[in-house]
């Protein structure tokens, strides 16, 4: 497979570092965008400057607010949608037209397994925002199939990453004990394992996969 031009957003957060490492190891040219996008205009300008992309890893990160739904004020909800939902619309709107024109390309969205199975923690706002991403993957994946453009996603949880499972969390004995009883695989997944699923979905090997979200969570959603 020849080298591809790959965009990874929020590249230093969530599964971004592992994605950058994997795609570069495969010989792809990776454009790593570090800071969160804040407007449709910003995304359009960035894509116009750096496109076309063969692959877009729409990796979007936001802090998780653990609080009752009765305490989810507008600031919390707006921040979650500003970081997780609206940028996905912007990226799809800016990157898909050239893929449609070429009848080729792949978008892969790391969402969250908490959009499939609710967490034991009160994080309804975060779960709802990730669920919006998941549904966008299903809907847009179906829409793009006739164009030969693949839009898919992964639903990670209990994957080592700098945003949600950083080294200090992983080193906590209480967390380790809890993980062994919570995750069927009885271990934390490596970032490289999540990146491997991202890479497969973006590869020609997944040429007949459209609108699918693959849980990548050690069996947690089962």
**Mean pLDDT in residue range 59-80:** 95
Residue 199 forms part of a structural domain: yes
Of 2, 109, 11, the C-alpha closest to 54 is: 2
Residue 84 forms part of a structural domain: yes
pLDDT tens figures, 150-205: 999 999 999 999 989 889 988 999 988 988 899 999 999 999 999 999 999 999 99
pLDDT of residue 86: 98
Q: Please say whether the dihedral angle defined by the alpha carbons of residues 78, 79, 80 and 82, taken in this order, is positive or negative.
A: positive
Report the range of poorest mean pLDDT among 28-37, 67-76, 164-173: 164-173
Residues 6 or more apart from 53 whose CB is under 8 A from it? 5, 6, 7, 31, 47, 95, 98, 99, 105
Residue 118 forms part of a structural domain: yes
**Mean pLDDT in residue range 18-39:** 98
Length of the chain: 222
Q: Bridge-partner residues for 32, per DSSP?
A: 8
**Mean pLDDT in residue range 138-156:** 98
pLDDT of residue 222: 93
Residue 222 forms part of a structural domain: no
Q: How many CA atoms lie within 13 A of 42 on its CB side?
A: 10
> Percent of the chain at pLDDT above 70?
100
pLDDT of residue 72: 96
Give the separation between CA 197 and CA 153, rounded to whole angstroms. Answer: 9
Catalytic annotation present for 126: yes
pLDDT tens figures, 104-124: 999 999 999 999 999 989 999
End-to-end CA distance of the chain: 34
pLDDT tens figures, 84-95: 999 999 999 999
Tokens linked to 68: 């009752």
Residue 96 forms part of a structural domain: yes
Q: Please say whether the dihedral angle defined by the alpha carbons of residues 124, 127, 133 and 137, taken in this order, is positive or negative.
A: negative
Residue 57 forms part of a structural domain: yes
Write down the catalytic residue from 89, 126, 164, 208: 126
Residue 221 forms part of a structural domain: no
Residues 6 or more apart from 185 whose CB is under 8 A from it? 218, 219
Domain enclosing residue 85, as ranges: 5-215
Q: Bridge-partner residues for 151, per DSSP?
A: 107
156 with 189: CB under 8 angstroms? yes
Of 138, 3, 24, the C-alpha closest to 11 is: 24
Peptide bond into 52 cis (omega under 30): yes
Counting the structural domains of the chain, the total is 1
Give the CATH number of the domain where residue 130 resides: 3.40.50.720
Residue 220 forms part of a structural domain: no
**Mean pLDDT in residue range 56-72:** 96
């Amino acid at each position: 497979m020849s080298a591809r031009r790959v965009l990874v957003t929020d590249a230093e957060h969530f599964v971004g570092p592992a994605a950058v490492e994997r795609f570069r190891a495969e010989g792809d040219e990776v454009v790593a965008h570090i800071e969160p996008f804040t407007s449709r205009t910003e995304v359009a300008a960035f894509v116009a400057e750096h496109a076309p992309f063969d692959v877009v890893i729409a990796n979007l990160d936001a802090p998780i607010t653990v609080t009752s739904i009765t305490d989810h004020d507008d600031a919390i909800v707006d921040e979650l949608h500003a970081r997780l939902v609206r940028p996905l619309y912007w990226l799809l709107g800016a990157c898909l037209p050239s893929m449609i024109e070429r009848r080729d390309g792949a978008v892969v969205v790391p969402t969250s397994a908490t959009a499939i199975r609710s967490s034991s923690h009160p994080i309804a706002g975060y779960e709802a925002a990730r669920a919006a991403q998941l549904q966008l993957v299903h809907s847009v994946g179906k829409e793009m199939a006739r164009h030969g453009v693949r839009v898919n996603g992964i639903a990670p949880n209990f994957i080592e990453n700098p945003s949600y499972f950083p080294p200090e969390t992983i080193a906590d004995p209480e967390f380790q004990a809890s993980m062994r009883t919570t995750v069927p695989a009885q271990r934390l997944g490596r970032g490289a394992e999540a990146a491997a699923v991202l890479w497969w979905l973006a590869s020609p090997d997944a040429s007949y996969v459209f609108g699918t979200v693959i849980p990548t969570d050690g069996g947690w959603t089962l």
